């Protein structure tokens, strides 16, 4: 299994610290300084969605 990057570890902390998907997304986008509407925002959303799905699966979040 490949090692997690600093960004992935940082995102895991954000996911654990926030109670719901929207607050997790907002906190992560602020932490990673994502500019709404940018190309980075599109890539970030895809990355966040994939990591959040893994988080929900691994932690059985309803």
pLDDT in tens, 8-43: 999 999 999 999 999 999 999 999 999 999 999 999
Identify the pLDDT of residue 62.
54
Q: How many domains does the chain have?
A: 1
pLDDT higher than 80, residue 52: yes
| In a domain? residue 24 | yes
Dihedral (Cα; 30, 32, 35, 41), 10-degree rounding: -120
pLDDT higher than 60, residue 6: yes
Q: How far apart are CA 5 and CA 25, in angstroms?
A: 18
| In a domain? residue 1 | no
| In a domain? residue 10 | yes
List alpha helices for 1-62, DSSP H: 6-17, 21-31, 39-59
How far is CA 8 from each of CA 32, 37, rounded to the nearest angstrom?
A: 11, 22
| In a domain? residue 49 | yes
């Amino acid at each position: 299994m490949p090692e997690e990057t600093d960004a992935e570890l940082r995102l895991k902390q954000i996911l654990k610290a926030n109670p719901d998907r929207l607050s997790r997304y907002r906190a992560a986008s602020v932490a990673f300084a994502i500019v709404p509407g940018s190309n980075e925002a599109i890539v970030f959303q895809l990355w966040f969605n994939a990591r959040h799905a893994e988080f929900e699966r691994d932690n059985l979040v309803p």
